[in-house]
Amino acid sequence: MKITPLQNGIEVHDIDLHDDEACRELGRLVAHECVVLVRQGVPERRLYEIQMLWGQPTLPFVNRYVLEKRLRGRHWRRAFQAMASVSSGLADAKELAGMARVSFEKNERGKATGLFPNGELDWHSDQQGYHDNQRIVGLMSLWGSENSQTSFLCTAPGYDSLNHDDRSLVDELTCVWAWDGGAMSPSIDEWHLEVHRYNMVPLDGMETRLVDQTVTGRKGVRFPSHCFSHFKGMSREESSRVKAHLWEHFGKPEYAYVHDWQDGEIVFMDQNITLHARPTNIVDSHSRTMCRMISYLDRLYPGNGPADHVLFDGERIAHEDFAELVDAARMREAGAMSAEPVGA
């Protein structure tokens, strides 16, 4: 295995992706380096197997509860249909937990069969509002990826270079999250927001510490690029000023790696202190199809599997109890919508 530095990331060469021990070593690199490019592809099932060597598959637990019909009722029907649709493009989806296609391809009924089917995607990370251990996305280009880009931004170098005053501030901040209607992907098909919302912030008031770290102890920030309400104990106006000030530092071009895709490549990326974006506008004519797998690292670093709670409104709440709050909120929303006068 050989390593070449990228701008705020690394490229791994000469690795046998069918050798389990080599793939475990790759996982340890990914855990610390945050952005790792491998210019070779594998069958989708092998990508799944590689990341299963690293840790359990992950799916936002609210989405999982919907798909398992632990959250059910007429008020969940649209969400269930949307979440089921985005996994329909992947053969053997039920056997490949944590995996989905990212594609505009449609089925015979004209429904998209993958995640994020159209438009551009601004800076974000997976499950931004969820308090959880380090998760890794493996994004693999299958076909039609030429002339498209993904940008990656690991915040660890930015955190290391903060001045004393900003470091002291950042270390004390807690983010409070609120659903913003999908501002990360303003042109995405509306039905997809059912998936996006519960992936990001299922209930306003979720909290995470601004500073987070990898399983290896490398510190950075879970930057609140979207779905940000305010910093705890700070007004929204002051929070916006602080966020803008911090982005002037963390958002510098030298901290970003922009990848020009070719078919048959994989980029593995951290989701706790690393943002990514899709500056390419995907439209109806595009055939760009990617495979996306997300997992923890608890098989390489025991004790770093899924959390059993969220941080919400100053409290630590078990997933089951939080799901009841989400269910009640969705039922209220459904009731409010049905009460609106026709034509309102």
- Boundaries of domain holding 236: 2-339
Picking from 246, 224, 254, the residue whose alpha carbon sits closest to that of residue 151 is 254
> CA end-to-end span of the chain, whole Å?
62
What pTM was computed for the model? Answer: 0.93
8 A C-beta contact, residue 257 and residue 10: no
Which SS3 state, helix, strand or coil, does residue 66 take? Answer: helix
Query: Does residue 171 form part of some domain?
Result: yes
- The structure tokens 């104990």 sit at 233
8 A C-beta contact, residue 275 and residue 122: no
Query: Does residue 296 form part of some domain?
Result: yes
Query: Does residue 344 form part of some domain?
Result: no
Cβ neighbours of 43 (radius 10 Å):
11
Q: What is the pLDDT along the chain (344 residues), one digit of tens a residue?
A: 999 999 999 999 999 999 999 999 999 999 999 999 999 999 999 999 999 999 999 999 999 999 999 999 999 999 999 888 877 777 777 789 899 888 777 666 766 677 776 678 899 999 999 999 999 999 999 999 998 999 999 999 999 999 999 999 999 999 999 999 999 888 888 888 899 999 999 999 999 999 999 999 999 999 999 999 999 999 999 999 999 999 999 999 999 999 999 999 999 999 999 999 998 777 655 688 899 999 999 999 999 999 999 999 999 999 999 999 999 999 999 887 655 544 44
The CATH number of whichever domain residue 96 belongs to comes to 3.60.130.10
Task: Tokens for 105, please give them.
Answer: 């391809």
**How many angstroms separate the Cα of 24 from the Cα of each of 52, 287, 301, 312?**
10, 32, 11, 35
Give the chain's domain count.
Answer: 1
Query: Does residue 50 form part of some domain?
Result: yes
- The structure tokens 């019909």 sit at 69
Query: Does residue 290 form part of some domain?
Result: yes
